[in-house]
Amino acid sequence: MVQILWLIRDKVLSFLKSEAGQDTFEYVLIIGGISVAVIAAVVLAAPNLMKQVVYGVCLAVETIVPQVTCVAP
């Protein structure tokens, strides 16, 4: 059991020290920033569209969890 934990620790440490991990994290940050900008643009440009999207998601959740009630926009 202890050997498995040491192996996992070594793998995690080698991943954190590698340059590939850093590059991957930087790409994730860039993609996250672009996603936030796109979502903000949609919300600001078309607020009625955002209401419809939220209502659609609420209806989808309502089919899974019947206790949820959605109010039409």
Q: Which residues of 5-20 are buried (b: 16+ CB within 10 A; e: fewer)?
A: eeeeeeeeeeeeeeee
Whole-angstrom distance, CA of residue 2 vs CA of residue 8 = 10
CB-based contact 58:68 (threshold 8 Å) = yes
48-69 pLDDT tens trace = 887 888 889 998 998 888 887 8
Q: How many CA atoms lie within 13 A of 5 on its CB side?
A: 2
Q: Could you read off the pLDDT of 21-43 as tens digits, one per residue?
A: 778 888 999 999 999 999 888 88
- Answer left, alpha or beta for residue 18, where phi above 0 means left and psi between -120 and 50 means alpha: beta
Q: Specify the pTM.
A: 0.46
